Amino acid sequence: MYTSFNLIRKDLFNGVISCTQLVEFYLDNAQKHQHLNALLEIYAEEAVAKAKAIDLKIAAGKAGKLAGMVVTIKDVFCYENHKLQCSSKILGDFESQFTATCIQRLLSEDAIIIGRTNCDEFAMGSSNENSAIGPVKNGIDERKVPGGSSGGAAVSVQMNMCLLALGSDTGGSVRQPAAFCGVIGLKPTYSRISRHGLTAYASSFDCVGLFSKDTDSISAALEVMAGADDFDSTVSKRASPIIAQNRNNTSKYRFAFIRETLESDGISKEIKQAVQRQIEILRKQGHQVESIDFPLLEKILPTYYILTWAEASSNLSRYDGVRYGYRSKNTSNIDSLYKKTRTEGFGTEVKRRIMLGTFVLSASYYDAYYAKAQKVRKLIRDQTRKILKKYDFILTPTTPSTAFNLGEHTSDPLEMYLADLFTVQASVAGLPAISLPCGKDSKGLPIGLQVMADDFDEGKLLEFSDYFLNLEK
């Protein structure tokens, strides 16, 4: 079994394995683990045909940079002539009319997409239980959630159904499931990758994220996907990052860890111990690790939810049953068409966020909630970046607990929202962050360490991640 893209490339070009054999291996695993409900569709015939074509390219010396990379995509990405449902009833059997920029760039370098993964409806959730197609199960313990909203993507990597998975990260939707499933999950800097073709939840937060078990895959895919795009006015025009993996890295890093994250009553004892253990290991390796205070910590979660609810209310207004997707049959006029279609088509959590977003945008409450949250957002970003001028990275746990039971928090939205407690800071600030596996609890459930860096420091973040994962502990 291959867990490194570099090893795959080496064997592919030395004739040890073919691209067709690789695809068949991943397809076999996808079929074997269908009961986990991670993949909504498997593009078997299409993937095998593409693999055979790439084998011919390899033989001719014309293969792209990503030949040998087998990918799944979260059900929020447009892929021409393929279904796009956002794991929601309201889109029905809609098929995308174009391909997202990030996916087109992968395909152009000979990556192979083998399936579409389940997620929380419109990427709204922290457990992948809000899907209209049913919850995803964690492959380590099927009684547990995989995290959300990109739970299906995380499980597809966890159970070797692909080498790399694309997810979306608005407030932790890649990093949190990565922690729950014991894989690597990267949220790049906001604007690093074009959002063209990524279904909008909260447009000023949404990021294309990546899952894998190795940093080679993430580095290679990020370099291909990043960069300017005429279809997205918000994407950075910076050149793609050139990420040289330095496995013999001797750099001594400066780390800050936020004291309140380890002293919070809401964090599990075993996660606290695991993170403290990693801190001590880093210190023994000669790195500087210091405790800092972040007074705005308790403001981050409410700021995040106020702003994302508002943006969701606006973005999801386009789903009205008129032009595409689901349309209620029990209507008598245009008003009832809108109301009944949206009532029947959206799930409970999506409706909750739309209504709360509409509330905070209303004339009576706009200044009290939305405008104030925007001001606090800037304070959070400025304060976080100030820390990163002194330190290379900020360390926190990725999640306050390990994977919880299916159904455990569904009756209490606040408990579910608290699962994002540590991931939302990077999202509010627009900064890159990665979740790295850092041990397991007494039940064998994975624990994640979150590492946050300054704007466009993905190269340094991945270099450290490679060092950390290869560190003898």
Pairwise CA distance, residues 451 & 281, whole Å: 15
Q: What is the mean pLDDT of the chain?
A: 95
Is the pLDDT assigned to residue 241 strictly greater than 80? no
Domains and CATH numbers, the chain: 1-473 (3.90.1300.10)
Q: State the pLDDT at residue 250.
A: 64
Is residue 28's pLDDT more than 60?
A: yes
SS3 content of the chain, % helix, strand, coil (to 5): 40, 15, 45
Distances (CA, A) of 147 to 127, 128, 187, 188, 405: 4, 6, 15, 19, 10
**Which amino acid is located at 189 in the chain?**
T
pLDDT at 246 over 70: no
Q: What average pLDDT does the segment 194-200 reach?
A: 98
Least confident of 49-58, 79-88, 241-250, 340-349: 241-250
User: Mean pLDDT, to the nearest integer, of 95-107?
Assistant: 98
Measured distance CA(238)–CA(73) in Å, rounded: 25
Q: Are 439 and 277 in contact (CB under 8 A)?
A: yes
**Dist CA 287 CA 282 (whole Å):** 6
Q: In sequence order, what are the residues at sequence separation of 6 or more whose Cβ sits closer than 8 angstroms to the Cβ of residue 363?
A: none
Structure confidence by residue, pLDDT tens digits, 125-162: 999 999 999 999 999 999 999 999 999 999 999 999 99
- On whether the CB atoms of residues 167 and 74 are closer than 8 A, the answer is yes
> Residue 414: helix, strand or coil by DSSP?
helix
Q: How far is CA 119 from CA 124, 162, 239, 243, 424, in A?
A: 9, 16, 31, 30, 19
Active site annotation includes 88? no
Phi, psi of 291 (to 5 degrees): -85, 135
CA 104 to chain centre: 19
Percent of the chain whose pLDDT exceeds 70: 97
d(CA 150, CA 2): 23
CA distance 253 to 393: 8
Closest CA to 116 of 85, 160, 148: 85
pLDDT bin (cut points 50, 70, 90) of residue 351 is: very high
- pLDDT confidence bin for 185, thresholds 50/70/90: very high
Given the residues 18, 173, 219, 465, select the one marked as catalytic.
Answer: 173
pLDDT number for residue 135? 98
Is 149 assigned a catalytic role?
yes
pLDDT of res. 1: 67
**Catalytic: 74?**
yes
Contact 422, 395 (CB under 8 A): no
Strand ordering across the sheet containing 393-397: 39-42, 112-117, 70-74, 164-169, 207-212, 184-187, 433-440, 446-452, 393-397, 254-258, 288-292
Q: Rounded mean pLDDT of 187-199?
A: 97
Total number of residues shown for the chain: 473
User: CB–CB of 427/187 below 8 Å?
Assistant: yes
Give the 3-state DSSP-derived string for 300-317, with helices as H, strands as E and coil as C.
HHHHHHHHHHHHHHHHHH
For residue 472, name the pLDDT band (cuts at 50, 70, 90).
Answer: low
Average pLDDT over residues 306-315: 97
Per-residue pLDDT of 1-27, as tens digits, reads 677 899 999 999 999 999 999 999 999
pLDDT at 101 over 90: yes
Identify the pLDDT of residue 248: 55
Look up residue 358 and give its amino acid: T
Q: What's the N-to-C CA distance of the chain in angstroms? A: 24
pTM for the model stands at: 0.96
Task: Look at residue 264 in the predicted model and tell me its pLDDT.
Answer: 81
pLDDT for residue 441: 97
pLDDT of the residue at 410: 85
CA distance 153 to 73: 7
How wide is the angle at C-alpha 75 spanned by C-alphas 73 and 79, nearest 5°? Answer: 65
Q: Which of 74, 137, 187, 460 is catalytic?
A: 74
Confidence of residue 242 (pLDDT cuts 50, 70, 90): low
CA–CA dist 332, 339 (Å, integer):
11
- pLDDT in the model for residue 258: 94
pLDDT in tens, 399-455: 999 999 999 998 888 888 888 999 999 999 999 999 999 999 999 999 999 999 999
For residue 249, what pLDDT is reported? Answer: 60
Say yes or no to pLDDT of 330 above 90.
no
Distance between CA atoms of 188 and 193, rounded to whole angstroms?
8
Q: Per-residue pLDDT for 473 more than 60?
A: no
Percentage of the chain beyond pLDDT 90 is: 90
Give 346's Cβ-side CA count (13 Å radius). Answer: 25
The most confident of 38-47, 328-337, 414-423, by mean pLDDT: 38-47
Mean pLDDT of 179-196: 98
Please name the residues in contact with 302: beta carbons below 8 A apart, sequence gap of 6 or more: 373
Which is more confidently placed, 418 or 54?
Answer: 54
Confidence of residue 231 (pLDDT cuts 50, 70, 90): very high
Query: Region 259-265: what's the mean pLDDT?
Result: 87
The residue among 96, 66, 64 whose CA lies nearest residue 79 is: 96
Nearest in space to 88 (alpha carbons), one of 138, 46, 124, 53: 124
